[in-house]
């Protein structure tokens, strides 16, 4: 999934860790991400949270997409800050999942809280069965 994620890679994100129900993604705030208030545009904060959410909800090799998400901005992110988004699964039921993502500046100060709801769709990321086990 990471290899095909041109959006996340193009924004300079790194996939730091992924395991079932969990993902951590980092991104440095670049000059072209800062708005007229000299803070990181909220869309970029949302993007790093959304990417962590995507990797967490796809971590079971079941193709999943966002059904709904929302974000609360807690503190501004500034030029050159490293944002760390940590996604944690809260529950999965049927084809649905609920994930909370905390975005921190430098791994400590909370910048935003994001909640994503996922929905499994047809398919897998890696083929299952003998040919995909390899």
pLDDT tens digit string along 72-107?
A: 999 999 999 999 999 999 999 999 999 999 999 987
**Is residue 84 classed exposed, middle or buried when 0-12, 13-18 and 19+ CB atoms within 10 A define those classes?**
buried
- Which one-letter DSSP state was computed for residue 130? T
Query: 16-51 burial by CB neighbour count: b if 16+ within 10 A, else e?
Result: eebeebbbbbbbebeeebbeeeebbbeebbbbbbbb
What is the rounded CA–CA span in Å between residue 15 and residue 23?
Answer: 8
CA atoms within 13 A of residue 7's CA, in its CB half-sphere: 10
What are 1-41's pLDDT values in tens digits? 888 889 999 999 999 999 999 999 999 999 999 999 999 99
Task: Map residue 51 onto helix, strand or coil.
Answer: helix
């Amino acid at each position: 999934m990471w290899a095909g994620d041109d959006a996340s890679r193009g924004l300079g994100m790194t996939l730091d860790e992924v395991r079932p129900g969990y993902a951590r993604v980092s991104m440095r705030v670049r000059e072209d991400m800062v708005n007229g208030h000299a803070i990181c545009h909220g869309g970029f904060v949302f993007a790093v949270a959304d990417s962590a959410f995507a990797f967490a909800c796809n971590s079971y090799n079941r193709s999943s997409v966002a059904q709904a998400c929302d974000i609360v901005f807690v503190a501004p992110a500034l030029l050159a800050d490293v944002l760390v988004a940590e996604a944690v699964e809260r529950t999965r039921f049927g084809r649905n999942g609920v994930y909370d993502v905390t975005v921190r500046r430098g791994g400590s100060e909370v910048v935003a809280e994001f909640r994503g709801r996922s929905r499994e769709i047809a398919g897998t990321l890696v083929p299952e069965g003998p040919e995909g086990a390899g």
